[in-house]
Copies of this chain bind each other. A is one copy, B any other.
């Protein structure tokens, strides 16, 4: 078993170095050579572990898509009204932004660099997530819990409103991740609420 564990660890190191490079230089400007240098490997050895930088981008994008879809499934399966469901999803978005910033940055900004058929598959997962989120927003409006806001506008306002946290939040600064989460939730959930 030892060699298999060893290899998995190396792959993980490469993955983490790539996430940092994508964050700092952008996906397009990151070369396999940059990545090899970052993990002290020759470019030729790097190919023993990964086939391309797109393989890493694919992993980042699909892992994040699965994280959000798993969160959605849990929320859908849990009893509760639309307010509780939206708040649970909002907290998942915020925690992901404060807890896994580099990954979120690649997910937000760099998914466009996926090529087909990956791009289409990724966009379908994303659309599925958005549609299920919209269904919860619609339910909350019909139940009179949320104000009369065009659901598409509410959805994108929520998504967009936290798309600075991953860049700004630093552990150990003035506010903890929990405090940041409470302030953002307070502002956005109140904005939706009909009461």
Known: A190-B191, A191-B191. A157 touches B162 (CB 8 A): yes
Contacts of A132 in B (CB 8 A): none
Interface of A is mostly: helix
How far apart sit A157 and B169, CA to CA, in the bound complex (Å)?
A: 13
- Which residues on the B side are within 8 Å of A161 (C-beta)? 157, 160-161
Bound: A147/B150 CA distance, A: 24
A190 contacts B190, CB within 8 Å? Answer: yes
- Counting CB contacts under 8 A, is A180 at the interface? yes
B-binding segment of A5-13, A59-67, A80-88, A181-189: A181-189
- CA A193 – CA B190 in complex, angstroms? 8
A1 interface residue per 8 A CB criterion: no
A149-180 CB mask vs B (1 if < 8 Å, else 0) is 11001101101111110001000000100011
- Looking at the assembled complex, report how far the CB atom of A160 sits from the nearest CB atom of chain B, in whole angstroms: 4
Which residues of A come within 8 Å of B, CB atoms? Answer: 147, 149-150, 153-154, 156-157, 159-164, 168, 175, 179-180, 183-184, 186-188, 190-193
